[in-house]
Structure 1
Amino acid sequence: MAGTVERPVRHGMLTKRSISKSKTTFNAKFQDRWFVLTDKTLTYHTPNGHTEKGRISVDCIRCCELVEEKTFNRPRLFQVVYSDKEKLRALYLQGETKQAQDEWIQCIRLVSEKSCPERMLRHFHSGAYIKKKWSCCHKTEKHYDSGCENTYVCDRIADYAMDARRASIEQESRRASNAEQQRNTIKRKLSLQNMMNTLKLDRSDKADSPAQAKSNGSDVNTLSETREESEEVFSEGELSDDEGGSFKTKHSLDSSGNSPRY
């Protein structure tokens, strides 16, 4: 997009293997170039930085991986595999130091994966296609995407998958452990409840026995008192002959219905 500002990521000197169009590419030369990496492009220039010699869009980068030292008999080699007119090509680079090599690889991986993560390669060749075969695995098909080794993306996906499986197993284990703890808690609560119910029943039985005995005793006493009262009433109702006569005399009525006066 026009007007888009490119943010610089890294720049420095790298030794680049020249891209040769000939069938025999083993004799390709290495040249020093000034590289500039932004969040949009990877460009290389003449050593003084004045003339641009090549440009690769970050969207076209498919992987950035190490290269075996024996491939070109050079240390600190790495490669940038990119898409050029729907064909994959490799740019072979050499860092000035091991630290510079590692930093360049990390920076290129960062911007390329952020730009097009779904198009990053899962496999690569750690060698070069020389004399119609790969120096690393000796395959004759020139396919960069069917390499003999996993890219860092593939390894990381495998690590993520393993971590996900491990996390899933741990989560399932924690879930089972929590369920077991809940079951044990419920069992303990039920056992405690049963124990409390048993204690309540025992206390109720013990409390009811004296009350029942007392109730029974009071009933007996009440019955006894009732009998005594009946006896007393009966005894008061039984009068002697003298008392009966006197009672009759005293309480007898005259013919008019009035009590006689003495």
Structure 2
Amino acid sequence: MTSVLEIKDLHVSVETEKGPKPILKGVNLTIRKGETHAIMGPNGSGKSTLAYAVAGHPRYEITSGQILLDGEDLTELGADERAQAGLFLAMQYPVEIPGVTNANFLRTAKTAIDGEAPAIRTWMGAVRDAMKNLRMDESFAARNVNEGFSGGEKKRNEILQLELLKPQFAVLDETDSGLDVDALKVVSEGVNRAKENTGLGVLLITHYTRILRYIKPDFVHVFVDGKIAEEGGPELAERLENEGYDRFLVEA
């Protein structure tokens, strides 16, 4: 049976100085394992809010609606519990964690998700192989998480986590931002490997079509004013590249 991630009539607010501000206004989306869904839209349309709400960021309050994974309601669960259930978030702006090495972070995360520590020899072999595939020097394992990393190195580090933690579904929040062509190819290859090896389902948030040349979407959703304004196949992304979002903003 294919695993399914369902987002049902999701409404989300963020606390501001003037009180709660509604951002998501009824999002419905179904993603099956092995599928890639691209979310595209203008700045401020709520794309990143969707990513953080699905991942369980405490700042984003789900006021109504549900997030279901294989029928299990994740809506009230914390971020750690959602990760254990099979969700992963690659952040647009990965944070630095001073004092925690990549090697310790990765093994601790794997242990927390699986409920038991991986065997050292097997695990270190898997880490080395994944780093080699992502063209990361082995010295990165001993460096503190993202500390002093370039933008491209931080994004590769996110995909390193993705490949090693093996989630069922990954939300990639503008993983292509700040990447040059070579880094974009390497990161995309990592996502495609994860899809091929585990049947990963992907929710890919992006402004541009360039990453979609390497990570082929099955479905494209246009996000405007906190909800999905139009849906289609890969051809919709090409239309957006040529026409932009003006017609959706006028309608909104």
User: If each structure's strand is expressed as a fraction of its own residues, which one has the higher value?
Assistant: 2
Flag the structure with larger Rg.
Answer: 1
Same fold (TM over 0.5): no
With normalisation by structure 1, the TM-score equals: 0.21
Q: Which has the higher helix share?
A: 1
Q: TM-score when scaled to structure 2?
A: 0.21
RCO higher in 1 or 2 (8 Å CA, sep ≥ 6)? Answer: 2
